[in-house]
Amino acid sequence: MTDKDLYGGLIRLHILHHAAEEPIFGLGIIEELRRHGYEMSAGTLYPMLHGLEKKGYLISRHERTGRRTRRIYEITKQGRVALAQARTKVRELFGELIEGY
């Protein structure tokens, strides 16, 4: 099992957390994750974003900035519900993990 396998769910929750605060884009999330010690390639991140979109948690649109077109992701109502439920589960799990440490 690789670290990516172990932390994939946490990274997805981190993505939803930031999308709940403001619209996000791939490179911005890669930089955010890097600040937390995760080195993630676009080849790993974009399938996660597309998967979250396919599940209905994110919706994307193309936005033109100068000469570039950037894909912007926003959280959906379904994504907000899933994030709220996940926060409850994460609190329970991490409470157990930390107390047991």
Radius of gyration for the alpha carbons in the chain, expressed in angstroms and rounded: 15
Bridge partner list, 24: 73
Identify the pLDDT of residue 72: 97
DSSP state of 25: E
Identify the pLDDT of residue 8: 86
- For 24: left if phi > 0, alpha if psi spans -120 to 50, otherwise beta; the answer is beta
Residue type, 20: A
User: Is 16 or 95 the better-scoring residue by pLDDT?
Assistant: 16
Give the list of residues 6+ apart from residue 63 with CB closer than 8 angstroms, or none.
69, 70, 71, 72
Residue 1 in this model has a pLDDT that exceeds 70 = no
pLDDT digits (tens, 9 = 90+) for 36-62: 888 889 999 999 999 999 999 999 999
Identify the pLDDT of residue 29: 96
Which residue ranges make up each domain of the chain? 3-99
Identify the pLDDT of residue 100: 63
Identify the pLDDT of residue 97: 82
Is the CB of residue 14 less than 8 Å from the CB of residue 35?
A: no
pTM: 0.86
Q: Which two tokens stand for residue 81?
A: 């519900």
Architecture (CATH level 2) of domain 3-99:
Orthogonal Bundle (1.10)
Residue-averaged pLDDT of the chain: 91
